[in-house]
Homo-oligomer: A and B are copies of this chain.
Amino acid sequence: MRLKLTLSYLGCAYAGWQIQADTPGTGTVQGELERALGSIAGHPVRVHGAGRTDSGVHAEGQVAHADVPDKPVDWRRALNAKLPRDIRVLSAEPVSGDFHARFDAVGKLYAYTLFSGSCPVSPRLEPFVWTTPPLDLASMAAAAGVLTGRHDFASFRNTGTPGSDTVREIWSIRHEAGLAGSFRCPENWPVSTWFFHGNGFLKQMVRNLMGVMVWAGLGRVAPDDVAACLAAKDRQAVPSPTAPARGLTLMRVEYPG
């Protein structure tokens, strides 16, 4: 039986989604899931995720699939009992045997949260935000406008990644006050979230886009510079840094229908 798992996790304690060859079974979200599934199934179970989140990146709606034995088990409850408390299975549904979490995905929604003001005062906020000076929102929106659409994003993937297809389509880049997800912080805190919705994202692409948008908000690059960055198709041509992993959350993976 194939299971479609929808997952929420905190990235802080993990070396990212993908299992590490040298330390299988520990330190990654995939490894923790495979260990929990294997102990219920009674044999090793491979997990396929929709995408590989980096170390420190959180998820509110990561999707994965796995083939498990036909047992009268409440998989969601059984997995949550075995998983560390910073990984939660939101749903575990039986799906068709040809469902593939990665290859069938047609869209993804990421959220990036900024604290744009003086030093944040709550440690509860720290694992979820990038702290920046105050930012000019209109310049950030102008940069977002340049980045939205179908482009070759070679300049915004991390250096050294193989793969030649670097064209992706971003449907929207949207700004909202507050945190991503279910929690709310006080309205007078300078916290806001940028939502990136598109058909797919290259490795570290959202963090690199957020980096150039924050540089725009600081007046260090103009919207025209952002267009030049895109046109260069070269990460070295982009003057802004990769935004820290901790501000990023994978909100949702979308499938046809």
Contact = CB atoms under 8 A, between A and B. Distances in A.
A200 interface: no
Interface in A57-75: none
A88 interface: yes
Nearest to A91: B121
B8 A119 contact: no
B185 A123 contact: no
Contacts of A121: 8, 88, 90
Interface in A61-118: 77, 80, 85-88, 90
B88 A10 contact: no
Contacts of A119: 77, 80, 88
A126 interface: yes
A185 B185 contact: no
Given A77-B119, A119-B77, A119-B80, A183 B124 contact: yes
Would you call the interface of chain A mostly helix, strand, loop, or mixed? loop
Contact of A86 (B77, B86, B123, B189): B123
A164 interface: no
B181 A182 contact: no
Interface string A49-61: 0000000000000
A9 B123 contact: yes
Interface residues of A, number: 25
A27 interface: no
B181 A184 contact: no
A120 interface: yes
A186 interface: yes
Contacts of A87: 123
Interface in A172-190: 181-186, 189
B85 A124 contact: no
30 contacts: A8-B122, A8-B123, A9-B123, A10-B123, A10-B124, A77-B119, A80-B119, A85-B123, A85-B126, A85-B127, A86-B123, A86-B126, A86-B127, A87-B123, A88-B120, A88-B121, A88-B122, A88-B123, A90-B121, A122-B181, A122-B183, A124-B181, A124-B182, A124-B183, A182-B189, A183-B183, A183-B184, A183-B185, A184-B184, A184-B185
Sorted nearest first, the 6 A-B pairs with minimum C-beta distance are: A184-B184, A85-B126, A86-B123, A88-B123, A10-B123, A183-B183
